[in-house]
Chain A
C-alpha cells in the first residue's frame, strides 16, 4: 500500500458492451519535478491487448518489452492470439516471482483487450495480485478517478459514453492530483483491433465534457 503513494500517474480502464476503453495521463514525475510531459503510458502488447503502466518507468518498460516479445512468439507457436486472461496471469507469475525474491517490479498495470471471450480488463499489483473488473484505475490519482468511475459506470454503457466517462475520471485526477497531468492518451479496443485517438480527437471530446459541466 505504501508503494501506491510513490506513483505519479493516473490510468483508467472501462469495459463496455463490445470493447474496452483505456486512458492515461502523460506526466512522469520525480518527486516534485516533472521529468516528462510526453510520457507514453499505454503500450500495445498484441494486436488486441494493451498495458497501461504506472510506477517505476524502467521496471514497467522492461516488462512491456518482455511481454511484447514473449507474446509475439507465443502467438506464432500456438497459431492464435493470447486471451487477456492469459497475458494477465503470465505477468502475475513473473511479478510474483520477482516480488518473492525481493526484487519487485515497482509498477501497477492495467491489462485490457479483446479476445474470443469478449472485452476484459485486469489490474495487476507489484506483488503479482490479479483482479478482473468492469472499471479500474491505477496510479496516485486512482482514488480520485475511481470516485468518478464509481458514480458514472453502468452495465449498459455505450462506446461513446464509456469514452467520455474515462476522460471525465482522468481529467478529475489531473485537476486534483499533482503527479497527474500534461494531457491524455486514449485507446479503444474492439474486435477489429486497437484504435488510438489523436490529440485533436481527444481535445474535441474534452470540450464536450467541459461544456456539460458548465451547465
Chain B
C-alpha cells in the first residue's frame, strides 16, 4: 500500500486540511527530511558548529553536506538534496541582497525568516509541493552566535543543539542527557566534541573520517568547512568515538522503558 486508508484522500494536496486539522503532505515532507543523512547543529557561547554525514561508497566520491551561505553563516540540510541545494542558493541570494541594500551582513534570524517564508509559500498553494528537506543555519551576527532550524512546513526554531535526518532521536536523547539542571551550554571545543559524538551515534561507529563534514564559525572569524580528515577535526575523532561507545553502552544498560518517543 502506498497510501494509508485512513487519510481518505486528504493527503493528496497541500491546500486541503484533513478533518483533524492536519496538512498531511507537509507531514510526508517531514518524513522525506527524516530519511536523509544526519545533520546536526550545536550552539556554543563563542561559536556555532554544523555537522553532516556525507554519502560515500565505492562508486561515488563523497557528497557535499555543509554549505557556506556568507562569510558569517553556513547551513546544513537533510532530505532531498536537490530541494536543499535550491534553498542554499536562495539563502545565498538573500544574504547578498541584504549586503547590497544595507551594507551589513544579514542577521541569522532574518535569513531564516526569509527562507521560512519561502518554504511556507509552498504549503499554501494548489499544485505546489512542499520542500522535502529541512535546513539548519549556523552563524554569528550582531547579537552573537545563532543556530536556527527551518522545517519543511516553514516554521523555525532557535536551537541550542539538535538534529534532523536519520536517527535524529538518538542525537536528541544524547544532547538531553548532557543537560545540567535543565540547561545546556557549550564552549566551542565541547560543541565540536559532543557534536561529533552525536554524529557517531546517528551514523554508526564505523563512520570513516572522510564521511564527516563540519562547518564552524568562531567569534571574530569566518565560517569554514572541514572534513574529518583535516587535523582540526581529526584530533577530536578518537575521543568522540569513545564517548559515543560509552554513552551507547550506558543507555542500553538503563534500558529503553524510561521514555517514549517525544515529539521535538
Give residues in A with beta carbon < 8 Å to B. 77-80, 82-83, 85-86, 88-90, 93, 116
Contacts and interface: CB of A to CB of B under 8 A. Distances in A.
A80 B102 CA distance: 14
Contacts of B104: 83, 85-86, 89
A32 to B, nearest CB: 41
Contacts of B109: 78-79
Given A78-B113, A82-B102, A85-B102, 8 more contacts: A77-B113, A78-B109, A79-B109, A80-B107, A80-B143, A83-B142, A85-B103, A88-B103
Contacts, number: 31
A48 to B, nearest CB: 14
Interface of B: 100-104, 107, 109-110, 113, 142-143
The 6 closest A-B pairs by CB, nearest first: A86-B102, A89-B103, A78-B110, A86-B104, A89-B102, A90-B101
A22 to B, nearest CB: 21
Contacts of B102: 82-83, 85-86, 89-90
B103 A80 contact: no
B103 A86 contact: yes
A93 B113 CA distance: 23
B140 to A, nearest CB: 14
A74 to B, nearest CB: 9
Contacts of A93: 100-101
Contacts of B100: 93
A89 B143 contact: no
A50 to B, nearest CB: 18
B196 to A, nearest CB: 32
Contacts of B142: 80, 83, 116
27 contacts: A77-B110, A77-B113, A78-B107, A78-B110, A78-B113, A79-B109, A80-B107, A80-B143, A82-B102, A83-B102, A83-B104, A83-B142, A85-B102, A85-B103, A86-B101, A86-B102, A86-B103, A86-B104, A88-B103, A89-B101, A89-B102, A89-B103, A89-B104, A90-B101, A93-B100, A93-B101, A116-B142
B174 to A, nearest CB: 31
